[in-house]
Structure 1
Amino acid sequence: MVRYYKIHGFDSREGGNHTVFYHPLHPDIMGIVARHSKLDGAYAKAALGAVDKLLERRSGRETQR
């Protein structure tokens, strides 16, 4: 998970039992990953969603919500 976020330009900070990932140019796009040896699939789904949102924003295709 860390590598996936880092490849897409996210920075991180430690917070309690989790690592918080955020994009420096789009700080509202964030992801949280627990620091456990086994991760729930929800963390992967959230990471995919965060990167998809970043890519949509970069391409100018972000939809109004």
Structure 2
Amino acid sequence: MKSDFRVDFTNGGHVEAKGFLLDIEGDSVTPERLAEMIVSAMNLLRAGPVTIFSMTIVRRGEHQDSWPAPLK
């Protein structure tokens, strides 16, 4: 899953990500579940609202940052 999102913290401040890659099981995930997974994966203890701006299923090896890197 490739996503753009913002997490606001209950004690002020926020964190934003663009093009964040997160492994998921299966072929789909709801925005609510993705928000839970982001907070858990990043261990954000004081996370408040999570705003998902975009989310796209990207299969392993089909994105620019795939590993191993292609040989040139």
Using structure 1 for the length normalisation, give the TM-score. 0.31
- Compare CA radii of gyration and give the structure with the larger one: 2
Which structure ranks higher in relative contact order (CA pairs < 8 Å, sequence separation ≥ 6)? 2
Greater share of strand = 2
Greater share of helix = 1
Using structure 2 for the length normalisation, give the TM-score. 0.28
